Structure formats: structure tokens, C-alpha cells
Structure 1
Amino acid sequence: MKELSEVLQDWEAVIGLEIHTELTALDTKMFCNCKLSHDDEPNANVCPVCLGLPGALPVPNKRAIESIVKAGLATNCEIQRHSMFYRKHYFYPDMAKNFQTTQGPVAFAMYGHLDLDVTGRGAAERPDCAFGEAEAQSLASASANAEGLSTSMTSTMREGNQRAGHLASYDASSLQMPERREDGSYTVPIRILRIHMEEDAAKMVHVGGAEGRITAAAESLVDYNRCGTPLIELVTEPDLRTPEEARLFMEKLRRIFVTLGISDCSMEKGSMRCDGNVSLRRRGETKLGTKTELKNLNSFKSLHDGLAYEICRQAEVLEEGGIIYQETRHWEPSRKRTVVMRVKETADDYRLFPDPDLAPFDLDDESIDRCRGEIPELPDAKRARFEADFGIKTADAEQIAGDPEFAEFFEAAAAGMAGKEAQTVANLLVNEMIAYLKGAGVSLAESGIAPAQVAALAKLLATDAISSNQAHEVFEAMAQTGDDPNKIVDERGMRQVSDAGALQPIVDEVLANCADQAQQYRDGNQKVIGFLVGQCMKASRGKGNPKLFNELLRTSLS
């Protein structure tokens, strides 16, 4: 099988995502008052409504609907004033009533977009970042067809017209993707077709078999505690072109939802998961190929690797003259391959129709404006502010801004700082803090580390009072004892000497004792300077400033 980079030279991957997110911040389920918790005893939080018993009537969760309105506003969607709930029928043990309550053609939020910044290795994964001329013409044609449709059309045609208009919702200049910047990065708009509300299914536990799948299980258990959990599904248009773009999109969406406070978005616990749809077409073609769906990708790595494998698999099948079938596939991380789960269902298979137990739902301007007023500063805006106000690197600003707890901690620790000191605070959070929390298995709030302690440690580093290696030792001691970093440094005699007058005699002594290495440097061997700095640090018993030693050595050897 060819490598992904080779495949993408000849084939264009067309990728769309369906991202499912549980609204874990709520207290009760979507259509009943059952407690929303997955940590209780199996089947402890159930009632006639979520079990679908005869005569039980559902009532929509108002806070859940407010959450989806916020999600729509934060992703530039149009909030639909009038929508309905539908019944999606299927026969499987994870839904006792044999149908799932969802939304129909009109969702609460539709026709949005997010701009995706792709940098580094992610940008390199895409061989070209521009739409082909043929694709641009295809989108322009979709727009023209949409404008030409009659105004006296059926509701189904009206939805089709809206969707066609969404296909060309960017002006003509945007039909061609932006050019790559000097560093190879680019920004691409990813359109969102809809964000709709539905209820989650029960949790199936398949006992036996290495993969924990039903086909190899000795028995299957059902826990209906999760059944009826408010779930939102975001569906993108097929605008993604590489597995890395798909991963970055989902990461960005997770940061937005966490900032909104509507979900913990834990992929490990299953509160956020993704289905990926992918098809291939030869470069320059506009006709879409047959797609396959990768189901329940539960990590960013699985999303990237599963799509990458499926792209390469489809290319191999097509190049050998085979046929791609529309089917649902499962990604097996242990074997690094996809396998067939089932032939893809169509909408007709679900026998969708309006739920007779739920009245049509209307949203008024007042409720939408109230939701808009409750939206906090979103990650992109916060990242830009951190860059402007504190002068920290874009990558660090993005990572910190994407976690509300970390962002608040950073602002408290870096208060009154800018430039080198603020960047040092960011470095400590992104490197030392995250590693410590992961190793200790605690949250930032549980760590007991205060912003003032990190600020003090950052000042020690920024003023070269300690080295980066020493900072790691100080951070560990600070986390374990709760002591002030200055106290730890002084008690352990770690404070560096940064007085050139005090260090110059050490440099002179080292150069006198290492005449051969000094001559190698003068002859052009720049690497030997590292050895000489090491000798100076040894002579100073680790208390000399290595940066200053480096400068003094180069000056003395010039």
C-alpha cells in the first residue's frame, strides 16, 4: 500500500465529519428528569420516558436547547426559529424504544463555518492548498443554480436551495483557497451544514474478545444510564482535504465547546466522538467518489490515522480497477486498519417522521440574544489578545487560550508582564505544568499550585537566576512542598552567578587547561564550544550562568 503523501499527489481526498458531543454540563437528560451521570451503578438512572414505556411523554430540556444555540452562535451558524423533533427508527438494544429522538431537515443551528489555520507538518500533508479551477467553477455553478430556483417551491426544495447557497456562501475570491504563506501555512474555511440535537443511546459492554466488539463477544450487557443524554451532532460540509485538517478541525471545535462550558469534551470517556466520511477523486475532477464512513473515532490520533489508512486503501482499490462500496467501517488501532461493519443505511432505512409526542419548537429573538450575551470570549479572540497583550508565541497562546482554566491561571500569573517574562510563564504552563498534572493524575485546581508561584519561578528563569534544567527541579519541589520558588533556590544553593567579572577568571582557567579544544574552535569547529561551556559549569560547581559562559568564551576566543 502506498504512503499517504504519495497517494495525495494523484488523488484528492474529500472528507466530511460528524462530531457527536454530550452536553455533560447539564444535570438531567434530554427528555426526562433522570440524573445525568455515567458513574453510578448500571441502570440506576432510568425512568419510563428514557426506556420508552407506553404512555410516557417526553418534555424537552430547555437548558440543552440553550446550549445548542450557544454552540451555533459560536460557530457562525444561523439559528433557526422554527424546528421539529423526529423519530429515527432502528432496532438495536442500545435504544429500548427502538427509535432515537432527533431533529429533521431543519436543525436548531445551520449553515455556519470555522476558519482553520494549518501550519507545520499539517500544512505539509496537503500537496496543494488551492481549489482546482474545476472545483471553483462547480461551486459557482451551484450558487447560480440556487439563485435561479423558483420562490414557489416545496419545503424540500427550499432546503435544497439553502444548502446550494451554502455551498457557495463565500464570495468569488474565496472559491480559490488562500495561497500558502511564506512558512508554508494556510487558512481554509470549513463550512458547517448543521448542528442538531438528539438523544444519546445506552452503553453496550461486549464481554470477551480482544477488541471488545460484539462480533467476538461471549455476551453483551446494556447500561441505560446514558440513554437519553442530551447530544449535539455537528455535520461539516465535505471541505476537508487531509487527515490533519480533520484532526485540527475537531481540536478547534473541542476548544470552543469547552470554553462555552457545555461539555467536558472528554474523548477518553466518550463524551466527544467522531464519524469520518471520506471519498477519493482524481485531481482535477469535480464528481465525488463513493464515500465510506469510519464510525466512532474516539481520539484525535485515531481520527487522523483512520482517515489516512482509508484514503490509502481506497486508492489501492481504485488503482487496481476495483469498486468502493458505500459502507460503514471500523478503525482497529491495534491492527492499524479499517474493517467493514455494515453496508451503509440510507435515510429511508430509518423511516424518519415527526415525533407526535413533541410539539414543533419555536425560538424567539429574546432567547437567542440572551444566549448570545452569555457566550464568553472564544479561543481565537483570546489567543489574539494573549499575543497582543503579553507578546507570547502563537502556538502557546492557542494552547493556553483553548482551556478556560489554564487561560485564567495564565492571566493571573502573567499579570503585569510582557515579552520574555510572559513567554516564560507560558513555557512553564505548556511544558512543566501539563507534564506534572498528567504524571500526578490531577487537575490544575487540584494541584495546589498558585499563579504567584509560577510567576516567581518565571522571573527567576527570565533573569537567568536559574537554568532551564534547574527550573524543572524547582517546579517539582514547588508542586510537592508548596514552597516559594525563591526559598527553594536559596535553600539548595541553585542561584546562578551572572556577574561577568566573577565568571571571567573561570573562563580564562578553562581555556588555559583546554588549549587543544580552544584551537579547534579557532580553526572553525563551532561545536566544541559546548564542551568548553560544560567545563566552565563544572569549575563553577554548576552556579555559573551557562549563557554568559558561552558569550565570554566566544569573546575570549575571537
Structure 2
Amino acid sequence: MGEPKLRPLADVLRDWEAVIGLEVHTELTSLRTKMFCNCRLSHDDAPNTNVCPVCLGLPGALPVPNREAIRAIVMAGLACGCQIQRRSMFYRKHYFYPDMAKNFQTTQGPVAFCMHGRLDLEVSGEGAAERPARADADARGEALARSADGSYVVPVRILRIHMEEDAAKMVHAGGEEGRIDGATESFLDYNRCGTPLIELVTEPDLRTPEEARLFMEKLRRTFRTLGISDCSLESGSMRCDGNVSLRRRGSRKLGTKTEVKNLNSFKSLHDALAFEIRRQASLLEGGDPVRQETRHWEPSRRRTIAMRGKETADDYRLFPDPDLAPFDLSDEFVESVRSLMPELPDAKRDRLQRQYGLKLHDAAQLADDPDVSARFEEAVALATEGEKRSASGSAGASARGVAATVANVFVNLLPAFGAVTSAQAAGVSLLLVRDELTFAQARELLAALDGTDRDPEVAVDRLGLRQVSDVEALDPVVNEVLTRCTEQVAQYRDGNVKVIGYLVGQCMRASSGSGNPKLFRKMLAERLDS
């Protein structure tokens, strides 16, 4: 007997409301040492080489907190609108598992460093369509206003951001998809044990898998901008647990939740939650209860499977760690962290739009990565100055026009190349602004520049890519094409204006691709309309 057929997600969400909360774990990879000892942080060293009595949990070893880790979590809290608690404590969270040799994890108790924050989540396009229009209310029952294109903003409350130490890395060999089930042997690498880890816990304010995915993406952009973590989902420095339950539309009573553990990609987060929503709906509609449990996502089979019953706080026997004194953060410390805060992605996106007149999509793409946005602004300054010099008193391209072209290069061309400098990007952009290069040729030129110190102005001529934009030089080409293509000329004059595209193509072929297609089109139209 096979598994029951599940209804499509869109059908389920019309009848049921999904209530989703996330727990996002982020390693502070920017630090040099672990949370409670001086062992070096590294993902690349040989297994079990960066260990000591503290992270191995040997008797008598005493932990010493990492001040820079505290600075990083306060920065994360400020970026997420949290209240920074002046007094908090570390607790012991007990569990028996090989990934923590001392059999407890050092974490924070009821009061974390960062409490009660909020991030506003912008949802648009296909993602906005995932939430049924009849469900336009946030977690507090307040109406969500939709724009004409269907987009909306949902406030996502953050319960807490707390500090804890990461566990050792376990590698299961011989099993399916790296799981312990069916493995022939398991290996432990304690290099990761004791790595400073912050865990952000949201309130159950998310209502669709796409909202969950977008929230994690936004958090990743924020933490990378702060410079506290590389947020690599591939290496596990950022991972997510998703909690989800269902309730009938219109009901305020929460259903029984399940937790899907260790989702390490945006796609896995979306797909695992989507499956779990459909699975729970199938159970409830069949009269069966949902069990409170922890589940595992199997990407190859596109399903979740039960791992264990869900633990409660009592199962962990939490109590204050006697080896660590309570933390008292001074106002001076918090304000010193606030003074280090960089421009956050949303604010940077809005500024790039205002300052350079960029499209929303381009501004958002550039703001996503602080290194890319810094290089973009450097390239804009260089290209704008270069255009001013080359205009020589003529009108030239506007500053915003130059910026738009540079943005186009950075968003659509540069991601394919790893070592093109800001100056080279500015030079290629100027060639595009002056119509001396097509977009396809710009890609070819960037490939030739990648990883070199070559000047675009020199390279474009050596490669024979520079477009001819001299009317006198192109005039014989236009004359030859119009004389030869009499049938298309007649079609144009009979009202078929689209045929001009064919004529432009003929001009490009006749000029061996060196002519400016925009100028060819203009010259052809002037001749044909006269």
C-alpha cells in the first residue's frame, strides 16, 4: 500500500492556515577563536586538531567567554530591532549525544542578550501569490495591505537571539544521504565543538513556505553585511529548523506543531515546509492527529520522516551554569557596538535607488552583498568622472544614465567573472554608454579582462570589438543594404515597420558586426521615412 496522495499546496492553503516559526542557527565565522576557549576556528583543518580540555569537556576545565562573540550578537540584535538586555546568564542544556563530550551545551536561559525584535518582510511576485488573498492578515489579525501588483509587507516578530556553543560535526558513512540510519560507522570532528553560535527564534508569524524562505534570505543578507558570519549554507555555518502547524481558516487556536530539523538551503526550507503542510492537512482531513515530533527532510524523496518525539524544556534539565558569572552589559558597551553598525541592506537599497536612480531589482541585487555594492559605487565614481572628461563640453550621458549602465554590468555580467576590478568594470561601462560596445561584446571583453590588469580601452581594440559609430563610415553600408533588399524596403513602406529589424541585421552582417546597431536603425528609419 503506497503513501496517500497529497493535495497541492495552493489547495491546502485555501482551507488551512499554516503557522510557521523559524529557528535560525548562525556560526560567528568572522571570529578567530571559539566561544569559551582559545582554540582556533576553522572549517578546513584536519579533524580534531583544534581542541583543548574546555571544548572536549575534560574534568576541571573552566570556560572563559569570548568578548568579540558578545559584541557580534549585540550587533545582530541591533540590526533586528531587538531590545538589548543589560543582564543575562548562561545555562547548561543537558543531553546525551556524542557530539557534545561534556553531555551538556552551554546556552542562554529565559533572558537572552537580544529580546523582542522585528523585521519587516517584503513579499512580491510568485511568492506573494502563495498566500491566499483571503488570508491577508498578519499574526495579530491586522490587515496586510497589498500593492496593485499583489506584493505586501508582513512584520515578523523576533522572540530572541541567544548565544550558545555549536556541537561537534558527525559524519555517518555507509548510510543513505549521510544519515545515521543504516550507516556502517560514524566519525566525530570536535574542531566545530565550541564554535560561537547565535540562534534567532521568530514568533510564529510566517504563513507560507515562501515567506519563510524570504525571511531566511533577508537574515543572511543582514548578517553578511554586519560581517559576523559568512552564512554559508553549504558548509553549515547557517542552518534552519522550521516549526509548522495547521489550523482551519478563521480559527485562532494553534494546532499541534512539528519541527523539521537542519534545513541547509533556501530550497530545502521551502520544499520541506510545503511538504509538511500538505502532510499535516492530509492527516487532519482523514481524522488522524498530528504528532508533536522532530522530522527530517529527505531531498531525494521530497518528503519528511519522523526522527524522534519533540523534546520539551524539562527534558533538558536547564539550570544556570555555575562556571559562568551573569553578564552585565554596560550602556557604553552597547553604544560602542551601535557606532560600528554598517548601512543595512534595505537602507542601502533605498539609498541606491534615490542616489543613482536605479531600478528596484538592480538596487536590491547590489545591496545584497556589501563587497559588490562597494565596488559598484567605486566604479560609478570612476565611470562618471571618465564620461565628464570624454564629453569635452558636449552633453554626454547623464550621471544617472552612467550609473544605470554600471549597475547593468554589475548585476547581469560581472557575476560570471571573479576578478574584474572596479576600474575595469567602469571602463567597460563607459564603452557601453558611448555605444562603442554591445552587451554581448561586453561579456566577451570582460572575459578577456578577468584576472588581468589590462585596460578595457586597449583590450577592446586588440580584440576588434569596438563598434563603429561614425555616420560617414556607416553610410555606404546602409546604402548597399537598401539597394539590395528592395522587397523589405517595399514592405516597410507598406506599413510593416517590424521589417526594419531584418534590415538592421543585414547591416550588421555587412559591417562584420562592427557597426552600431542603434545607429543603423536610426539611419535606416530616416532613409525609409523620407
Question: TM-score, with normalisation over the residues of structure 2?
Answer: 0.91
1:109 aligns with 2:75: no
1:199 aligns with 2:165: yes
Deviation per CA, 1:19-52: give whole Å up to 9, x if none: 0000111111111111112221211111111111
Name the SS for the 1:181 alignment partner. Answer: coil
Deviation per CA, 1:56-95: give whole Å up to 9, x if none: 1111111111111111011100001111111111111100
What displacement does 1:301 show?
Answer: 1.5
Deviation per CA, 1:263-315: give whole Å up to 9, x if none: 11111111111111112222222112221111111111211222222222222
Q: Compared with structure 1, are the counterparts of its residues 208 and 75 closer, same or farther at alpha carbon in structure 2 (3 Å cutoff)?
A: same
Task: Give the alignment of 1:48-197 within 5 angstroms.
Answer: 48-128=53-133, 131-132=136-137, 136=140, 175-177=142-144, 179-197=145-163
1:17 aligns with 2:59: no
1:263 aligns with 2:229: yes
Take 2:381 and 2:195, find their aligned partners in 1: how far apart are those partners?
40
Which of the numbers 211, 215, 218 marks the counterpart of 1:249?
Answer: 215
Equivalent residue for 1:375?
Answer: 341
The total of aligned residue pairs comes to 509
Task: Tell me which of the two structures has the higher relative contact order, counting C-alpha pairs closer than 8 angstroms and 6 or more residues apart.
Answer: 1
Equivalent residue for 1:442?
Answer: none
Equivalent residue for 1:428?
Answer: 409
Task: Give the alignment of 1:224-239 within 5 angstroms.
Answer: 224-239=190-205
Q: Which runs of 5+ in 1 are unaligned?
A: 138-174, 438-446
Name the SS for the 1:269 alignment partner. Answer: coil
1:306 aligns with 2:272: yes
Take 2:298 and 2:266, find their aligned partners in 1: how far apart are those partners?
14
Name the SS for the 1:342 alignment partner. Answer: strand
What displacement does 1:551 show?
Answer: 3.6
- Of the structure 1 ranges 478-487 and 222-231, higher mean CA displacement relative to structure 2 is found in 478-487
What displacement does 1:115 show?
Answer: 1.1
What displacement does 1:339 show?
Answer: 1.5
Name the SS for the 2:417 alignment partner. Answer: helix
1:355 aligns with 2:300: no
Take 1:284 and 1:120, find their aligned partners in 2: how far apart are those partners?
25
Take 1:377 and 1:126, find their aligned partners in 2: how far apart are those partners?
31
Q: Compared with structure 1, are the counterparts of its residues 409 and 132 closer, same or farther at alpha carbon in structure 2 (3 Å cutoff)?
A: closer
Q: Compared with structure 1, are the counterparts of its residues 455 and 197 closer, same or farther at alpha carbon in structure 2 (3 Å cutoff)?
A: same
Name the SS for the 2:178 alignment partner. Answer: coil
Q: Compared with structure 1, are the counterparts of its residues 463 and 127 closer, same or farther at alpha carbon in structure 2 (3 Å cutoff)?
A: farther
What displacement does 1:233 show?
Answer: 0.1
Name the SS for the 2:133 alignment partner. Answer: coil
Take 1:336 and 1:527, find their aligned partners in 2: how far apart are those partners?
48
- Of the structure 1 ranges 222-231 and 540-549, higher mean CA displacement relative to structure 2 is found in 540-549
What displacement does 1:521 show?
Answer: 4.9
Take 2:149 and 2:93, find their aligned partners in 1: how far apart are those partners?
47
Which of the numbers 281, 292, 295 marks the counterpart of 1:329?
Answer: 295
| Amino acid in the other structure paired with 2:14 | Q
Take 1:50 and 1:101, find their aligned partners in 2: how far apart are those partners?
11
Percent same amino acid at aligned positions?
67
What displacement does 1:450 show?
Answer: 2.0
Name the SS for the 2:301 alignment partner. Answer: coil
What displacement does 1:532 show?
Answer: 2.7
Take 1:126 and 1:407, find their aligned partners in 2: how far apart are those partners?
32
Take 1:309 and 1:513, find their aligned partners in 2: how far apart are those partners?
62
What displacement does 1:518 show?
Answer: 4.3
1:7 aligns with 2:9: no
1:284 aligns with 2:250: yes
Contact 1:129 1:186 in 2 (8 A): no
1:484 aligns with 2:455: yes
Q: Compared with structure 1, are the counterparts of its residues 11 and 204 closer, same or farther at alpha carbon in structure 2 (3 Å cutoff)?
A: same
Name the SS for the 2:441 alignment partner. Answer: helix
Q: Compared with structure 1, are the counterparts of its residues 7 and 47 closer, same or farther at alpha carbon in structure 2 (3 Å cutoff)?
A: same
Equivalent residue for 1:209?
Answer: 175
Contact 1:132 1:284 in 2 (8 A): no
Contact 1:129 1:180 in 2 (8 A): no
Q: Compared with structure 1, are the counterparts of its residues 102 and 435 closer, same or farther at alpha carbon in structure 2 (3 Å cutoff)?
A: same
| Amino acid in the other structure paired with 2:437 | I
Name the SS for the 1:192 alignment partner. Answer: strand
Q: Compared with structure 1, are the counterparts of its residues 320 and 524 closer, same or farther at alpha carbon in structure 2 (3 Å cutoff)?
A: farther
Q: Compared with structure 1, are the counterparts of its residues 183 and 342 closer, same or farther at alpha carbon in structure 2 (3 Å cutoff)?
A: same
Equivalent residue for 2:388?
Answer: none
Name the SS for the 2:381 alignment partner. Answer: coil
- Of the structure 1 ranges 533-542 and 490-499, higher mean CA displacement relative to structure 2 is found in 490-499
Take 2:137 and 2:467, find their aligned partners in 1: how far apart are those partners?
58
Contact 1:113 1:190 in 2 (8 A): yes
Q: Which runs of 5+ in 2 are unaligned?
A: 1-5, 385-398
| Amino acid in the other structure paired with 1:407 | S
Take 1:424 and 1:217, find their aligned partners in 2: how far apart are those partners?
54
Take 1:532 and 1:339, find their aligned partners in 2: how far apart are those partners?
61
Contact 1:259 1:379 in 2 (8 A): yes
Deviation per CA, 1:155-205: give whole Å up to 9, x if none: xxxxxxxxxxxxxxxxxxxx322x211222222211111000000000001
